[in-house]
Amino acid sequence: MSPILTLIAQRIALGVLLLFAVSVLIFAGTQILPGDVAQSILGQSATPEALANLRRELGLNDPAIVRYFSWLGGVLTGDLGTALTTRQPIASTLMPRLWNTLFLAFWAAIVSVPLAVILGLLAVRYRNGPIDKAISGFALASTSLPEFFIGYLLIFFVAVQMQWFPSISTVYAGMPLADKLNAIVLPATVLVLVVLAHMMRMTRAAILNVMQSAYIETAELKGLSSFDIIRKHAFPNAIAPIVNVIMLNLAFLIVGVVVVEVIFVYPGMGQYLVDHVSKRDVPVVQAVGLIFAAVYIGLNIIADIAAILANPRLRHPK
Is 89 strand, coil or helix?
Answer: strand
Question: What's the confidence (pLDDT) of residue 51?
Answer: 67
Q: What confidence category does residue 278 fall into, taking pLDDT thresholds of 50, 70 and 90?
A: confident
CB-neighbour burial class of residue 312 (10 A; exposed 0-12, middle 13-18, buried 19+): exposed
| Residue 139 belongs to some domain of the structure | yes
- Alpha carbons 297 and 291: distance in angstroms, whole number: 10
Question: What's the confidence (pLDDT) of residue 216?
Answer: 66
Residue 167 DSSP one-character state:
S
| Residue 196 belongs to some domain of the structure | yes
Report CA-CA distances (Å) from 184 to 82, 101, 149.
Answer: 30, 11, 17
* Total domains in the fold of the chain: 1
How many CB atoms lie under 10 A from the CB of residue 99? 14
| Residue 254 belongs to some domain of the structure | yes
How many residues appear in the chain?
318
Rg (CA), the chain: 24
- Check: CB of residue 261 under 8 Å from CB of residue 187: yes
Instruction: Tell me the per-residue pLDDT of 87-109, one tens digit each, with 9 for 90 and over.
Output: 778 888 888 888 888 888 888 88
| Residue 110 belongs to some domain of the structure | yes
| Residue 166 belongs to some domain of the structure | yes
| Residue 55 belongs to some domain of the structure | no
- Alpha carbons 22 and 250: distance in angstroms, whole number: 20
Percent of the chain with pLDDT over 90: 0
- Amino acid code (one letter) for 312: P
| Residue 150 belongs to some domain of the structure | yes
CB-neighbour burial class of residue 187 (10 A; exposed 0-12, middle 13-18, buried 19+): buried
| Residue 73 belongs to some domain of the structure | no
**Torsion region of 81: left, alpha or beta (phi above 0 gives left; psi -120 to 50 gives alpha):** left
- Check: CB of residue 202 under 8 Å from CB of residue 303: no
Closest alpha carbon to 147 in 233, 302, 264, 63: 264
Range of the domain at 202: 98-275
Question: What's the confidence (pLDDT) of residue 243?
Answer: 75
Looking at residue 240, which CATH number applies to its domain?
Answer: 1.10.3720.10
pTM: 0.76
Question: What's the confidence (pLDDT) of residue 61?
Answer: 64
Instruction: Tell me the per-residue pLDDT of 200-247, one tens digit each, with 9 for 90 and over.
Output: 887 777 777 777 666 666 666 666 666 667 666 666 666 767 777 777
Can you say how many angstroms the Cα of residue 110 is from the centroid of all Cα atoms in its chain?
14
